[in-house]
Chains A and B, each alone.
Chain A
Amino acid sequence: ETGVTQTPRHLVMGMTNKKSLKCEQHLGHNAMYWYKQSAKKPLELMFVYNFKEQTENNSVPSRFSPECPNSSHLFLHLHTLQPEDSALYLCASSQSAGNTEAFFGQGTRLTVV
């Protein structure tokens, strides 16, 4: 049982669709992250929120739009994605952004067709 829960676990969407990924953490943490994991590549940081404020946008295309309504919830809104966006999207949280260990959710396996 993980303290970070992601839904859905699997998602198949067309290039013209709009969908959202949801992440919820029950650890009392103040920082939340979105990472992208593609085959043969390191985990890529996408967005960081610290105390609900976005502190980092790692040159992510605008077709990915994050939302953090409170410290426990994080969303990733998706629209007009490309097939190369197919990957495992991982949410993580930590006590605060920076030098503290992060805990990951189970991820959403996204396939863009």
Chain B
Amino acid sequence: QKEVEQNSGPLSVPEGAIASLNCTYSDRGSQSFFWYRQYSGKSPELIMFIYSNGDKEDGRFTAQLNKASQYVSLLIRDSQPSDSATYLCAVTLNSGYALNFGKGTSLLVTP
């Protein structure tokens, strides 16, 4: 069973702070890594993807990948109340046909 693990939270951060969301995966063959945001009652929305070790920045979001340690993280700078949502980590295998999702981390940004 290929697993993707996330702390379910809730993770609470004050407005303006940095939110750090973490994800670990079990299969060393994993090739592609994605972060989705899901608001309550809505469908998942792609935020970022990363394929190579290191950091990838897009606006207030930074994805970090460490394949040796089998973890991927998402940093949200200058957190806003509108960032409050569940963040889903997803991983694909080199031989896989679809994304494998973690349970998600609930983030609450307090004003």
Task: Give Cα distance in the complex from A90 to B32, angstroms.
Answer: 21
Chain A interfacial residues counted at CB < 8 A: 24
A75 within 8 A of B: no
Chain B residue at minimal CB-CB distance from A103: B46
Q: Mark A96-108, 1 if CB is under 8 A from B, else 0.
A: 0111111111110
B25 within 8 A of A: no
Residues on the A chain within 8 Å of B46, using CB = 101-103
Given the known A-B contacts A99-B31, A99-B92, are A90 and B100 also in contact in the complex, defined by CB atoms under 8 Å? Answer: no
Given the known A-B contacts A40-B103, A42-B103, A43-B101, are A101 and B43 also in contact in the complex, defined by CB atoms under 8 Å? Answer: no
**Smallest CB-CB A-B distances: 10 pairs:** A43-B101, A99-B32, A97-B97, A104-B43, A48-B97, A42-B101, A42-B103, A107-B43, A55-B97, A45-B98
